[in-house]
Amino acid sequence: MEERNLDLPSTYPLIPTRDVVVFPYMVMPLFIGRQFSIKAVEEAIDNNNRYIFLALQKDKNIEEPTIDDIHQIGVVATIIRMMKLEDERVKILVQGVTRGRIKSLTKQNGYYQVEVDIIEDEEVEETIEVEALKHSTKDLIDKAISLGKQIIPDLVEIIKSIEEPGRLADVVASVLDLKPEEGQAILDILDPVERLRYVHDKLLKEVGILEIQHKIRVSAREAIEKDQREYFLRQQIKAIQEELGEKDDKKEEIESYKKKIEEAGMPPEVREEAEKQLRRLERMHPDSAEAGVIRAYLDWLVELPWNKRTKDRLDLKIAKKILDEDHYDLEKIKERILEYLAVLKLKKQKTKDPSIKGPILCFVGPPGVGKTSLGKSIAKALNRKFVRISLGGVRDEAEIRGHRRTYVGALPGKIIQAIKQAGTKNPVIMLDEVDKIGLDFRGDPTAALLEVLDPEQNKEFVDHYVGVPFDLSEVMFICTANRMDTIPRPLLDRMEVIRLSGYSEEEKLNIAKKYLIPKQLKENGLDEKTVEFTDKAIQFIIRGYTREAGVRNLERQIGSIIRKIAKEIVEKGKKKKYKVTEKLVKKFLGAPIYTPEKESKDEIGVVTGLAWTEVGGEILKIEATKMPGKGNLILTGSLGDVMKESAKIAYSYVKSKAEELGINPEEFSKYDVHVHVPAGAIPKDGPSAGIAITTAIASLLSQRPVRSDVAMTGEITLTGKVLPVGGLKEKILAAKRAGIKNVILPKGNKEEVMSDLPAYVRKSINLIFVEHIDEVFKIALKEKQVEPQKSES
Amino acid sequence: MINIEKPAVDVLEDEDTYIVVADIPGVEKSNIEILADENSITIKAYRYQKFKGRYFIVERFNGWITRKIRFPEPINQNQAKAHYENGVLTVYLPKAKNQFIIDTCFKIFIP
């Protein structure tokens, strides 16, 4: 009984393998399908002590191989287990025993029988190289395992314990990832050291591949692990917060936004956008900067009144009552507003269309005449919300239309802000001071306003910040301005201009009594029972302490008196009734700031002109004088180009009509004429002083004095015609304030003046309408006198 | 090493004896050999294929069955006893205690 397999037989049943090489010592399952191989297995178990010979076929597609189709070197193997499968195939578990070389092949009883020379590995001399090779191979196996190669631990132990290089090579070869040809190549190497060297190289290559694979795997895993770690920590924080009874803020916030979006009544496209942003917010860390931006945006979206409106009150009677309560007179304007409401009412009844597709109202007039408060009254009459946007000094388009959300601190434009402030989608929005919109490199705000004010376009107004269209068509826009000439044309084109001129003294008196005094009393904690103003006192305030078209200063002065009374009452503790008289006004306000114009003399070369300014009308004393010279015309007083031309026309006209006016033509070459319009520091322009300058020059050269109780306005042409001018109501009121009795006006303005001017003003002042300058001369110039005398006035 | 099976064994001890129990079924008693030295025994057996014919399944092992067992203390192989019954081999090995028996290749007889 001997342990070694020296008693191996010399013939074996052959199993030609097609895609696998079995090495000595290697255990491997094989599936046998071919009949001759099955027969060989049966023969081996029955008669050959379970020994079999395995050899690789050179071409796996050959079904019936001959000796030339099989590699010569193969392996003697023992069948450990065998099982016949249901599909006629046989599964065997074999273990390689030793190499063998096929000497001859015969086919018998349906299987191949081979005669084999057993090849035992030669004894090898243990050189340093062999030793090193063995160590290196074993180390490489360790490395391969550490890099994830799967080798049964028992086998690793065996490999570690193997000392013979040939055997080490064979066992290691069995764990390598080899193609059949490569395996056969190892089998073919009979020199053990050579074989180990070859296997070592193969192993090295495999370890290299494993290293790269490992690197890829590790980097992928690191990325995943980092994410997982973060997620895990987040979950922990959440769990801790829940444990501490702190609510999940984020979830709550998202829920509240969801609810708000639900309630906001947005149009579908806006709602879609809002929900999209909400989903983004949900995915975001609540403390990130971007989340803050989205939150702010969502706040805007949900707070805009997408579907909220006040119900219009289109009752003309109530509207008229409200307008009358708030504003004195202004009949024409009130009429216009009521027309507007009437149209709106009819339209609504007919078409059910709530949008206002009418012209935008624009109130133009001096400060303090009640433009803004008129807007408020309209809103009140209509039962709409009122919002005021001041456009004075707005230079940036973005102030109207908003900034893009990408910018830090971005906000919607003034329009959307106003809508939010109003809380309804149909407020009255007052665009104050449209004439004072600036313009610079940041874009033109008026261009943005065009879109806002155009009823055809503003149904889908897109603010840069909001990014979704908002319907402005139900908004009633009202603009105010002090002057029209600085309003851009296209903007003016969309508006219906309603002029509010200044108030006359009588009007102011009434306004003071009806509105200003009760208002100031109320504001200062007094009532009409304690303080009473006499009409004379009010008139005294108007004349002596104010000079304006509106009533702002008047209100301030009244307020000032009332405050002083209030102080006195508190200080002295007595509750007597105050009657404000002229004397009391003087006591409280000091000496009058403006004294009534003194009765002025009729002078040569001094004419009273009339000017229109932003703050109402004013009178201008135009002066002319002559001095030795060469007939030059000198103009001073900050005159604009148009006014300078106007003066030249005047001079030329007088020159051309010298004889008719009784002027010596030589005067023109002997003297220079100087025209000055005080006050010198205030810029003046326009053609309306034409006839006044002409009269001044004519008076100067003809030495005929000008009546100081006559004021005049009108443009002059070279042929002496008088052309119509603007701002007449203010000018006439200014003349009246200055105590002038006669006003010369162009005939072309007659109709306008007659309809605009209140009857009592027309009655108290003598209006003279002229077509030609000659008529002016007739009225304004007195006969030449040897010595200037005091006029009879 | 090829074509060799290791039988499953239990080894237990009491005060002065080691007992080795090994499953070696399907073997003629005459085909079992136990060799002992001062602190180990080696069991060797050979199993022949029982039947000739066409096999459907082959799982049982045929060939050399060997197993070497080492003990922490020396044994007195002279006093060893073995006994084989129903495919189970039991070997009783008294501990050598103070006596020391120098390496010999001693065959334990199986009665």
- The CATH number that applies at residue A704 is 3.30.230.10
Contacts of B67 in chain A (CB under 8 A): none
Instruction: Please list the residues that pair with A31 across neighbouring strands.
Output: A91
Give which of A710, A719, A714 is closest to A738, Cα–Cα.
A710
Q: Which residues pair with B34 in a beta bridge?
A: B43, B108
Specify the number of domains making up chain A.
Answer: 5
Asked if B57 lies within 8 A of A95 by C-beta distance, the reply is: no
Is residue A598 domain-resident?
no
**Cβ-Cβ contacts under 8 Å, B62 against chain A:** 49-50
Q: What is the pLDDT of residues A334-371, one digit of tens each?
A: 888 788 778 877 877 777 666 666 678 888 887 778 88
**Confidence class for position A574, pLDDT limits 50, 70, 90:** low
What pLDDT shows up at residue A442?
64
SS3 A13: strand
Which residue ranges form the domains of chain B, and what is each CATH number? 4-49+60-108 (2.60.40.790)
pLDDT, tens digit, 9 for 90 and up, residues A214-266: 888 888 888 888 888 888 888 888 788 777 876 667 777 888 888 888 888 88
Please enumerate residues of A whose Cβ is less than 8 A from a Cβ of B. 1, 3, 5, 25, 42, 45-47, 49-50, 78-84, 92, 95, 97-98
Q: Is residue A296 part of a domain?
A: yes
Residues of chain B with pLDDT under 70: 1-3, 100-104
Q: How confident is the model at residue A721 (pLDDT cuts 50, 70, 90)?
A: confident
Q: A416 with A530, same domain?
A: no
Confidence band, pLDDT 50/70/90 cuts, at residue A600: low
Residue A512 has pLDDT above 90, yes or no: no
Nearest chain B CA: its distance from A182 CA (Å): 25
Question: Residue A352: what pLDDT?
Answer: 66
DSSP per position, A704-739: --B-TTEEE--EE-TT-BEE--S-HHHHHHHHHHTT
Residue A719: per-residue pLDDT: 86
A475 and A398 share one domain: yes
Q: Which residue of the set A37, A501, A688, A702 is catalytic?
A: A688
Tell me if A612 sits within 8 A of A749, measured CB to CB. Answer: no
| A387-421: b (≥16 Cβ within 10 Å) or e | bbbebeebebbbbbbbbebeeeebbbbbbbbbbee
Peptide bond into A679 cis (omega under 30): yes
A45–B2 CB contact, under 8 Å: no
Q: What's the whole-number average pLDDT of chain A?
A: 83
The domain boundary, picked from A63, A94, A119, lies at A119
Predicted local confidence at residue A4, as pLDDT: 45
Point out the catalytic residue in the list A202, A684, A729, A731: A731
Residues A756 and A669 reside in one and the same domain: yes
Q: Return the pLDDT at A207.
A: 92
Backbone phi and psi for residue A333, each to the nearest 5 degrees, phi listed first = -70, -45
Q: Which of A174-178, A350-354, A778-782, B74-78 comes out lowest in average pLDDT? A: A350-354
Q: Is B54–A46 a contact, with Cβ atoms under 8 angstroms apart?
A: yes
Q: Do A3 and B56 touch (CB under 8 A)?
A: no
Q: Do B2 and A79 touch (CB under 8 A)?
A: no
**A330: which residues sit within 8 A by CB, 6+ positions away?**
A370, A374, A500
Query: Do A412 and A374 fall within a single domain?
Result: yes
B56 neighbourhood in chain A, CB within 8 Å: 83-84
Average pLDDT over residues A609-617: 74
Q: How many other C-beta atoms can be found within 10 angstroms of the C-beta atom of residue A128?
A: 7
Angle, CA of A439, A445 and A446, to the nearest 5° = 95
- Report pLDDT digits (tens) over A513-563: 888 888 888 888 887 777 888 888 888 888 788 877 788 888 888 888 888
- Between A25, A84, A95, which is nearest B56 by CB? A84
- For B33, name the nearest residue in chain A, comparing CA atoms only: A1
Q: B-chain residues within 8 Å CB-CB of A82?
A: 55, 57-59
Q: Which of A46, A47, A83 sits opposite B57 (nearest CB)?
A: A83
What chain B residue is nearest to A86 in terms of C-alpha separation?
B56
Residues A198, A199, A202, A207: what is their CA dihedral angle, to the nearest 10 degrees? Answer: -140
A402 and A543 co-located in one domain: no
Does the active-site annotation cover A174? no
Which residues of chain B neighbour A49 with C-beta distances below 8 Å?
49, 62-63
Closest Cα in chain B to A1: B46
- Where among A479, A499, A519 does a domain terminate? A499
- Residue B2 is nearest to which of A1, A83, A97, comparing CB atoms? A97
For residue A703, give the amino acid letter. Q
- Encode pLDDT of A478-510 as tens digits: 888 887 777 878 888 888 888 777 777 778 888
Average pLDDT estimate for A622-633: 83
Buried b (16+ CB within 10 A) or exposed e, A612-630: bbebbbbbbbbbbbbeeee
Whether A598 shows a pLDDT value over 70: the answer reads no
A39 inside domain? yes
Last residue of a domain, one of A278, A303, A328: A303
Per the CB < 8 A criterion, the answer to whether A482 and A366 are in contact is yes
* Confidence check: pLDDT of A738 > 80: no
Chains A and B: how many Cβ contacts under 8 Å?
Answer: 52
* Of A42, A84, A98, Cβ closest to residue B57: A84
Taking the C-alpha atoms of residue A343 and residue A336, their distance in angstroms, rounded to an integer, is 11
Chain B residues lying within 8 Å of A42, measured CB to CB: 54-55
Task: Check which CATH number belongs to the domain holding A115 and give it.
Answer: 2.30.130.40
* A725-736 average pLDDT score: 80
**Which of A104-108, A587-591, B69-73 comes out lowest in average pLDDT?**
A587-591
Of the partner residues B52, B56, B64, the one whose CB lies closest to the CB of residue A3: B64
- State whether A488 and A350 are in the same domain: yes
Q: At which residue do the structure tokens 């002590």 appear?
A: A49
B109 near A CB under 8 A = no
The whole-number pLDDT of residue B18 equals: 92
Q: Which domain holds residue A680?
A: 606-780
Q: Are residues A620 and A754 in the same domain?
A: yes
Which one has a higher pLDDT value, A648 or A249?
A648
From the list B2, B44, B58, the residue facing A82 with the nearest CB is B58
B54 to chain A, any CB pair closer than 8 A? The answer is yes
Do A438 and A539 lie in one domain? The reply is: no
Residues A280 and A338 reside in one and the same domain: no
In a domain, A685, yes or no: yes
* The pLDDT value given to residue A1: 36
Residue A3 has pLDDT above 60, yes or no: no
Residues A621 and A705 in one domain: yes
Q: Is residue A157 part of a domain?
A: no
Whether residue B4 and residue A3 make contact (CB cut-off 8 A), yes or no, is yes
User: What value does the mean pLDDT take over residues A17-41?
Assistant: 90
- A685 and A766: one domain? yes
A44-84 pLDDT, tens digit each: 888 878 899 999 999 888 888 888 899 999 999 999 888 88
pLDDT at A356: 63
Residue in chain A lying closest to B63 (CA): A49
The percent of residues in chain A predicted with pLDDT above 70, rounded, is 94
B55/A81 CB distance under 8 A: no
For A88: left if phi > 0, alpha if psi spans -120 to 50, otherwise beta; the answer is left
Q: Is residue A272 part of a domain?
A: yes
Residue A144 in any domain: the answer is no
In a domain, A160, yes or no: no
Whether A688 is catalytic: yes
B56·A97 Cβ contact <8 A: no
Closest by CA position to A500, among listed A363, A639, A317, A348 = A363
A471 close to A357: Cβ distance less than 8 angstroms: no
Q: Which residues of chain A does B63 touch, with a Cβ-Cβ cutoff of 8 Å?
A: 49-50, 78
Nearest-by-Cβ selection for A79 from B33, B52, B58 = B58
CB A728 within 8 A of CB A765: no
Looking at the structure, do residues A524 and A611 belong to the same domain, yes or no?
no
Instruction: Please answer yes or no on whether B58 and A50 come within 8 Å at the CB atom.
Output: yes
CB contact under 8 A, A1 and B57: no
Q: How many CB atoms lie within 10 A of CB A664?
A: 11
Specify the pLDDT at position B89.
Answer: 93
Interface check for B62 against chain A (CB to CB < 8 A): the answer is yes
Residue range A459-471: mean pLDDT, rounded? 86
